[in-house]
Each structure stands twice: as structure tokens, then as C-alpha cells.
């Protein structure tokens, strides 16, 4: 075997130009594939982190409260007790937060926009600080009642700066409009499409706006240690909350704001809880992630085809050049299987070295890009929910790319190698060319 390795290695060295060209191509394709996967992984991770911090938990216990049959509000009553129950029943839980939910008109001196309003206790949400990049003002000031955090895009539209006052006007469950004056305490960097329709006020201010009790909120966000547990946790929650006496809505995998129409048509009154997960609440993230995965898969396939044709062609040439050598080796007693192994070893050596080189280069490039904090185009920012590119090099993806391309190289090498092994020694020995 050592001799076969030596022959393979020296043959690769003997045909330096060909080896470099093909090895370079394989390394290049590997690098492109890994960078693509890192972009996709990075986008997935960023989107997921941003979206699940700003707009949803991994699992949400939201709900609707109806004073009359035809009027509903996204309200959960007695949330401290609910959180207690949740903490008791869910060992998978990492941490819990609660957010008020509302929809209102935000009015400045010069303009107005319709936005979603989240009530937040900013002190209790360390993840929020990580995602939100404050461009102007201070995030800590969002603790004070009558304050608001808006995004750059909204600030530009409303022509306001930190310190300016605006009015929130929100329709209530009773059909009247309540208003609340708020002071802009922080303007955050845009986070994609989030920047258009979301604002944050202290929980207490949201409750004041809607004249709700202190123990009410919009939804309880549950963050799990492992997102793989989401389906199991959802299932268990339904059982445990029902056992604890809560009334639950039927499972409806849609965002809460899409359910008002259905809920308002139903005849019940009082409180019903609704259990959703992040995919239900922010389905656009799932679509984008699926589209990205498809795109990466498609591009990966195209790259693999290109490299497969290249490898096969090169191996054909190599075998043609070495036909006499094959004949000689067969004549002096080398079995067909060993000839096959010899060529496969050569292909393996080349492809593995090239893919590992490509992987190392791609990983270094990704780390470099991350370190440079390269700004993503605006259209990408919309999906990313952040401003900068983040290329996430996952060991699993790198291993997958290296294995896939090496395997592909081996598979396409099988055909010419097999035909070389099948050659009759006498035919091979008298080959001219």
C-alpha cells in the first residue's frame, strides 16, 4: 500500500501543472461552497437570533382576551403565575421574557406611521441589548415610563431625534382611541424589515396606553437551551397548561396578528392562551432560510458537476498517458483491484488535499470578512435583520463540503479507474499514445 501511495504521490508531483490546475479547481470549488454555506448559515443564524430576540421567543405563550364576543385583544392575564407554571414544567427552558403587544399610530410634529408596539422590560432581556445597536441615545433610558425606542428608518420618516416627543394613538378593545405621549430615548440601527413596523416602549407604558392591569402582558416568550426541543415542549405545554386550568386555542401555526379575524368571529369571551413557535410568528424567516438553503444546494450541485467533469476528464488523460504502465504492472503481477486502488488513491490524494486546502482558505476568508465587519447591501439587510455580513463557518458544513467533494471526486474517478483496471495487460502494454 505504501508503494501505491508513493506512486500516486509521485505521479501527482510528476504532472505538477495538471495537478495544480485540477487541485486548484477543486480547492476553489470547495472554498466557494464553504463560503456559500457560511453565508447561508450566517444569515440563518443572524436572522434567527435577531428575529427570536426582537419578535418572538422559541416558543410563545400568547393569547387573546375578549370582553365581548366580537372584540379581542392580544392580552395574557396573570402572567407572573403563568411564568411560574411554565418554569416548573419546562426543564428545557433557558430563560423567559414577556412582551406587551399592541398596534398604534405614532405621531410626530411632521408625520405619522402605523407601527407595532412592544412593551418590554429592557433590564430583564440581555439578548435584546446584544441585537439592538443604538445609534443615538441610551437603551437604559427605556426603563423610564413614557419613553420609546425607534429605528433609524422610522426616525427619518417621522423627522425626530432623541429627546423629541411623539404621541402614540391606539385603538382599544372598547372601540375608543387612547393616547400616550412618549419621549424618544434611543434610535437604533435598522434591523431589516423589522425597522418598518416595530417600536419598543416600557411594559408599563404599554399597559398605561391600553389601561391594563399590572399582571397583564401580550405574550410570554420562552427561550430553550436547545431549539430541537421546540415540538416536544409545545406538545407538553398544551397538556400541562390545560391541566393547570388554562383554556387553550386550537393549534394554528400562524402569527398572532393574523388570527384576530378568526378569534373575533368566535362566540367565547374571557381568556384563551395560544401556543406558537418562532416559525409560526415569523414565517418569513423560514421562507428566506428555505430559499437560501435551496439556492446553496443548487449552486453546490452545479459546482459539483463542474468539478466532476474536470476530474473525470483529467483522470482519463492520466490513464491514457499511463496505459503502458498499467499494462506493465498488470503483467508483472498486479491484480485488477490494486490498479483500481492505485488510481483511486491518486484521486483521493488530490481531492482530499485540494478540498482541505480550499476549506482552510474559505474558513480564513470568512473569519477575515467577519473581522472587517463588512456592511451588507440594504436588500440583504432586510432579510438579515442586521447591518453587517456574518459568515458562520460551521464545522459540520466544512466537513460536509470536504466529504461531499472528495466523495464526488472518488465516484467519478471510479469509472476511468475501473476501466483502467479492466484493461487486458497485452492491450495496455502495446498501447501507443
Partner 1 sequence: MSLSAEPIVSINEVTKDYHLGKVVVPALRGVTLQVHPGEFISIAGPSGSGKTTLLNLIGCVDTATSGVVRVAGKDTKQLSERKLTDLRLHTIGFIFQSFNLVSVLSVFQNVEFPLLLQKKLNASQRRERVMALLEQVGLANHAKHRPNELSGGQRQRVAVARALVTQPQIVLADEPTANLDSVTGQQIIDLMKAMNRERGTTFIFSTHDAKVMTHANAVVRLADGKVLDRVTPAEAGVALAAGGH
Contact flag: residue 232 with partner 1 (CB under 8 A) = no
Q: Helices marked H in 245-394 — which ranges?
A: 260-265, 278-281, 283-321, 323-331, 336-372, 378-384
| CA–CA gap between residue 325 and residue 362 (Å, rounded) | 38
- Name the residue among 192, 217, 175, 196 with its Cα closest to residue 106: 196
Residue 367, Cβ neighbours under 10 Å: how many? Answer: 13
> In 33-157, at which residue ranges do the beta strands (DSSP E only) sit?
59-68, 71-73, 93-107, 112-120, 134-137, 147-151
Binding mask 279-318 for partner 1 (x = CB under 8 A): ----------------------------------------
Binding positions for partner 1, 12-41, rule CB under 8 A: 13-14
Task: Please report the DSSP string for 183-222 in residue order.
Answer: EEEEEEPP-TTHHHHEEEEEHHHHHHHHT--TT-BSEEEE
Contact flag: residue 245 with partner 1 (CB under 8 A) = no
Judged by CB under 8 A, the stretch of 130-138, 149-157, 225-233, 421-429 that binds partner 1 is 421-429
Tell me if residue 73 falls in helix, strand or coil: strand
- Name the residue among 219, 263, 238, 233 with its Cα closest to residue 61: 219
Buried/exposed code over 187-201 (b: 16+ C-beta within 10 A; e: otherwise)? bbbbbbebbbebbbb
Nearer to partner 1 by Cβ, of 132 and 341: the residue is 341
Nearer to partner 1 by Cβ, of 12 and 359: the residue is 12
CB of 326 to partner 1, least distance (A): 10
CB of 427 to partner 1, least distance (A): 9
Nearer to partner 1 by Cβ, of 230 and 334: the residue is 334
Cell of 255: 402569527
Nearer to partner 1 by Cβ, of 309 and 426: the residue is 426
CB of 333 to partner 1, least distance (A): 3
Options 139, 299, 334, 365; binder of partner 1; rule CB under 8 A:
334
Contact flag: residue 7 with partner 1 (CB under 8 A) = yes
Provide the angle, in degrees to the nearest 10, between the axes of the packed helices 395-422 and 16-54: 150
Question: Which helix H or strand E contains 256, and what residues bound it?
Answer: none
CB of 26 to partner 1, least distance (A): 21
| CA–CA gap between residue 338 and residue 286 (Å, rounded) | 49
Cell of 134: 443604538
Contact flag: residue 11 with partner 1 (CB under 8 A) = yes
Cell of 109: 410634529
Cell of 22: 485540477
CB of 229 to partner 1, least distance (A): 55
Question: Which helix H or strand E contains 409, and what residues bound it?
Answer: helix 395-422
Contact flag: residue 421 with partner 1 (CB under 8 A) = no
CB of 396 to partner 1, least distance (A): 37
Nearer to partner 1 by Cβ, of 187 and 421: the residue is 421
Binding positions for partner 1, 130-149, rule CB under 8 A: none
Nearer to partner 1 by Cβ, of 4 and 308: the residue is 4
Phi, then psi, of 185 in degrees rounded to 5: -110, -15
Judged by CB under 8 A, the stretch of 41-49, 134-142, 252-260, 331-339 that binds partner 1 is 331-339
Contact flag: residue 236 with partner 1 (CB under 8 A) = no
Contact flag: residue 392 with partner 1 (CB under 8 A) = no
CB of 410 to partner 1, least distance (A): 21
CB of 15 to partner 1, least distance (A): 10
Q: Is 88 exposed, middle or buried (0-12, 13-18, 19+ CB in 10 A)?
A: exposed
Options 104, 329, 348, 405; binder of partner 1; rule CB under 8 A:
329
Judged by CB under 8 A, the stretch of 11-19, 174-182, 369-377, 379-387 that binds partner 1 is 11-19
Which DSSP category does 379 fall into?
A: H
Options 45, 262, 365, 429; binder of partner 1; rule CB under 8 A:
429
Binding positions for partner 1, 335-354, rule CB under 8 A: 335-336, 338
Judged by CB under 8 A, the stretch of 9-17, 166-174, 205-213, 298-306 that binds partner 1 is 9-17
Judged by CB under 8 A, the stretch of 196-204, 211-219, 255-263, 328-336 that binds partner 1 is 328-336
Cell of 12: 501527482
Residues within the interface to partner 1 (CB under 8 A): 3, 6-7, 10-11, 13-14, 324-325, 327-336, 338, 424-426, 429
Amino acid at each position: 500500500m505504501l508503494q501505491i501511495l508513493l506512486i500516486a504521490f509521485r505521479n501527482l508531483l510528476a504532472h505538477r501543472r495538471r495537478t495544480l490546475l485540477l487541485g486548484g479547481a477543486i480547492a476553489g470549488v470547495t472554498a466557494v461552497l464553504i463560503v456559500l454555506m457560511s453565508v447561508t448559515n450566517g444569515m440563518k443564524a443572524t436572522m434567527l437570533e435577531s428575529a427570536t430576540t426582537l419578535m418572538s421567543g422559541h416558543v410563545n405563550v400568547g393569547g387573546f382576551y375578549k370582553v365581548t364576543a366580537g372584540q379581542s385583544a392580544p392580552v395574557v392575564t396573570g402572567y407572573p403565575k403563568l411564568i411560574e407554571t411554565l418554569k416548573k414544567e419546562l426543564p428545557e427552558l433557558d430563560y423567559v421574557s414577556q412582551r406587551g403587544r399592541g398596534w398604534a399610530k405614532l405621531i410626530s410634529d411632521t408625520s405619522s406611521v402605523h407601527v407595532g408596539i412592544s412593551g418590554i422590560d429592557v433590564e430583564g432581556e440581555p439578548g435584546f441589548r446584544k441585537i439592538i445597536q443604538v445609534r443615538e441615545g441610551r437603551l437604559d433610558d427605556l426603563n423610564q415610563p413614557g419613553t420609546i425606542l425607534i429605528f433609524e428608518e422610522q426616525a427619518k420618516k417621522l423627522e425626530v431625534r432623541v429627546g423629541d416627543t411623539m404621541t402614540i394613538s391606539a385603538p382599544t378593545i372598547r372601540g375608543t382611541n387612547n393616547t400616550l405621549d412618549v419621549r424618544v430615548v434611543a434610535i437604533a440601527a435598522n434591523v431589516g424589515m423589522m425597522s418598518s413596523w416595530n417600536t419598543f416602549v416600557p411594559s408599563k407604558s404599554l399597559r398605561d396606553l391600553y389601561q391594563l392591569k399590572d399582571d397583564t402582558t401580550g405574550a410570554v416568550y420562552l427561550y430553550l437551551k436547545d431549539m430541537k426541543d421546540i415540538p416536544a415542549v409545545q406538545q407538553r405545554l398544551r397538556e400541562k397548561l390545560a391541566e393547570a386550568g388554562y383554556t387553550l386555542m386550537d393549534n394554528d401555526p400562524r402569527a398572532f396578528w393574523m388570527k384576530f379575524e378568526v378569534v373575533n368571529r368566535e362566540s367565547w369571551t374571557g381568556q384563551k392562551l395560544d401556543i406558537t413557535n418562532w416559525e409560526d410568528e415569523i414565517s418569513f424567516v423560514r421562507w428566506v432560510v428555505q430559499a437560501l438553503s435551496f439556492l446553496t444546494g443548487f449552486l453546490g450541485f452545479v459546482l459539483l458537476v463542474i468539478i466532476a467533469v474536470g476530474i473525470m476528464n483529467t483522470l482519463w488523460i492520466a490513464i491514457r498517458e499511463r496505459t503502458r504502465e498499467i499494462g506493465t504492472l498488470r503483467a508483472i503481477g498486479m491484480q485488477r483491484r490494486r490498479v483500481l486502488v492505485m488510481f483511486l488513491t491518486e484521486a483521493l490524494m488530490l481531492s482530499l488535499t485540494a478540498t482541505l486546502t480550499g476549506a482552510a482558505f474559505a474558513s480564513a476568508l470568512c473569519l477575515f470578512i467577519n473581522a472587517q465587519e463588512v456592511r451588507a447591501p440594504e436588500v440583504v439587510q432586510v432579510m438579515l435583520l442586521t447591518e453587517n455580513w456574518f459568515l458562520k463557518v460551521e464545522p459540520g458544513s466544512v466537513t460536509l463540503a470536504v466529504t461531499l467533494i472528495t466523495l464526488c471526486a472518488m465516484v467519478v474517478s471510479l469509472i476511468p479507474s475501473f476501466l483502467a483496471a479492466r484493461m487486458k495487460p497485452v492491450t495496455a502494454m502495446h498501447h501507443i499514445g
